Amino acid sequence: MDWANAGAPGLADIEALAEAARAALPAPFAGPAREVLLRIAEMADDDMLGSVGAQDPFELTGLYDGIPLTERSVMDQPDRPDTIWLFRRAILDEWCERQEVPLGELVAHIVVHEFAHHFGWSDADIARIDRWWE
Separate counts of helices (H) and strands (E) for the chain: 6, 3
Strands 83-87 and 62-65: antiparallel
Q: Considering the entire predicted model, what is its pTM?
A: 0.88
The lowest-confidence range among 16-20, 102-106, 119-123, 129-133 is 129-133
Cα–Cα dist 21/25, whole Å: 7
What digits encode the pLDDT tens for the residues 44-79?
999 999 999 999 999 999 999 988 888 777 776 767
Under the banding of pLDDT at 50, 70 and 90, the label for residue 124 is confident
- Domains within the chain, CATH numbers bracketed: 11-68+79-129 (3.30.2010.20)
Q: How far is CA 97 from the centre of its chain?
A: 18
List, in sequence order, every residue forming a beta bridge with 37; answer none if it has no partner: 83
Give me the helix-helix angle, 103-119 and 11-23, nearest 10°: 60
Is-contact 56 93, C-beta < 8 A? no
Residues 77-93 as b/e (b if ≥16 CB within 10 A, e otherwise) read eeeeebebbbbbebbbe
